[in-house]
Amino acid sequence: MAARPNVLWIMTDQHRADCLGCMGHPAVRTPHLDRIAREGVVFENAFCQSPVCMASRGSVFTGRYPAAIGIRGMGILPPQETTTPELFQRHGYRTGAFGKVHLTPELYTRRILKSETPILDWRAFADAACLAPIPPDPRKERYGFQDYVGCEDCLQGSFREVRDEMLWRLTRRLTRNLDPLPLVLSQY
C-alpha cells in the first residue's frame, strides 16, 4: 500500500451492509463497489452509533461517540472537535466532500455555495458550485474539508443529473494533481 493512499469514504443513509455484492448478497449486483472493495479496504465489523443522522455523522467524523461530542439528536458539531478531514490535512492531504454532511441544522450550503447564485439552470449552478473557489471558513462549517459541495439540500427536479455532473466536476478538480486525496461521497 502507498505511504499516503487515496481514500474514498462512501456513506449512505439506511444501507444494510449485506446489500452489496461484495458482502455476499445473492441478488444485488454492485460491480463498481465490489471492485473498490476488492482493491481497497472493507470494514466488516462496524456499527451505526446513532439512528439520528447528525449524531451518527458527528461520531463518524470525529471518531467519538455522540454523547462524548454532545450530539444526541439534531445538534451542532462543537467547534473544538477535531474532524477526520482536519487530521488528513495535517498529514499533507487535500480533502474534499460531495453530498450530505449535515452537522448543523441550518443549510450551511447556502454560505458555501453562495446563496446569491441563481439556481435557474443546473449547469450554471454546477459551474458556480464546482469551479468557483470556496473561501476559508473559520467557523468550521465545512468540518475540515478544503473543498466541499453539498448540493443535495439545494436542488429539486433533475437531481440525479446535477449530482452526477457535480461529482464528476469536483472529482476532476480535486484529482488534477497527483497528491493523495481523501474524498467523502455521502448520498441519501
Q: Residues 22, 32, 53, 130: which is the catalytic one?
A: 53
* Contact in structure between 101 and 150 (CB atoms under 8 Å): yes
**What distance in Å separates the CA atoms of residue 61 and residue 148, rounded to the nearest whole number?**
14
Please give the C-alpha separations between residue 153 and each of 27, 56, 188, in angstroms, as whole numbers. Answer: 32, 18, 11
Please give the C-alpha separations between residue 75 and each of 55, 104, 142, 144, 165, in angstroms, as whole numbers. Answer: 7, 6, 15, 18, 31
15 is catalytic: no
Q: Residues 15, 19, 32, 102: which is the catalytic one?
A: 102
130 is catalytic: no
Residue 147 bridge partners (DSSP):
96
Active site residues: 53, 102
